[in-house]
Structure 1
């Protein structure tokens, strides 16, 4: 999402290379067992504990398999599939965590009428353990059942030209309902601001790095967490109207659609425009 926006501020970079997050390279949280027994995830388990968090396959910097189909009537040579990777640092309520790497893929280019077009592709992420687990104490780190992890998910809205996008944050743990999510009703909306100039790391293949942040968004309470809902929100300091921050150091690569493997040819029509 941020990649397209990044490119726009990249000076000698091409328009599509300067901004979209994930753009450029690739064509693309049982029951409540007491207040002390809050939920947690595998990622937070102590060494030797067998419990493990769900695995999510992340796309690689050279994988264009998530490149979306293009809208009808556009020129494939003028549309690029961008793959963007980042490992953001997130402060949400009273918790600060370095999130596991996320990968986003989208396409962008001119519409037949000359307006800017974008098509969302996919997002891949993995859970990140929250220190202290459900209790926020050392016990939460040592006991598997008290583990707690957080995993960002695409919130359904993105505008890579302006650096706006939305995420939900799933809370994961042995005691936590699978539906437990921060941003259940409405996702968390971000408006990224540049931290400095973009930097070309490589021309062939194209690799661009950029940094951005948002410290103005509000963090909603977690919802759909069952009996643990109130305890989890106390633990995480949610909702939080201010004091939140997303720091976003990322890189992206891209290919125009006429450079993509032949297997994508049959899927180059009918993509849904990003909102």
Structure 2
């Protein structure tokens, strides 16, 4: 029989992983605790396994505990778990990209082995993620005893695993913000700048599309140094200065964004010349 898994929190991440664990026989999903009985029943229906619990005190013993709760709730949930039962020899892990396994100190002090496993993708649509999870990268760190249990299980559901430095967990999570959130912010600045030049919004997206998609494709194909082009890469800082002045006159905040990007782009251009 697969090890017993209890889920504390079964929102998008918890229910998706729970479904995958159950479907692959990697864990036996036992007890599920969420914010309300209705949401617990809904999660169990999606997972296809497990029993709803009304409180952490009512959850049965298990070899593994997954705390799939919000970042700010990890510490309190872990403390409540450690105060409610013996944990010696069990594995407790969370799925946060921003918090390290040290957030589970209360469980470790109670004798558990702790870890974090962060799947690098959006869980906005649990069904879609569950259907196409294979190949998903997961950043992992924690106690060797915990990773010895968790890494084979995540590999069994199709994850690709990379170990990360827990001391740099916040920087690791910021990498995702740069690669996703801030990329959208920069593209928004481009679309607004096109609009300021009188380009209709629908046409602006088509002007930006090949530039953005080709630049991204080149970054992943040949690396950022070789992919960099434009006035900074050419050393044309007179053009850069004119652009920065014009953008700042149009919109001061966007001008500040432009200015902030010049120095790191110049450093990338220097690395390009050294390659």
TM-score range (shorter-chain normalised) is: under 0.3
Which structure: larger Rg? 2
Question: Normalised by the size of structure 2, how large is the TM-score?
Answer: 0.25
What is the TM-score normalised by the length of structure 1?
0.25
Give the helix-richer structure, 1 or 2.
Answer: 2
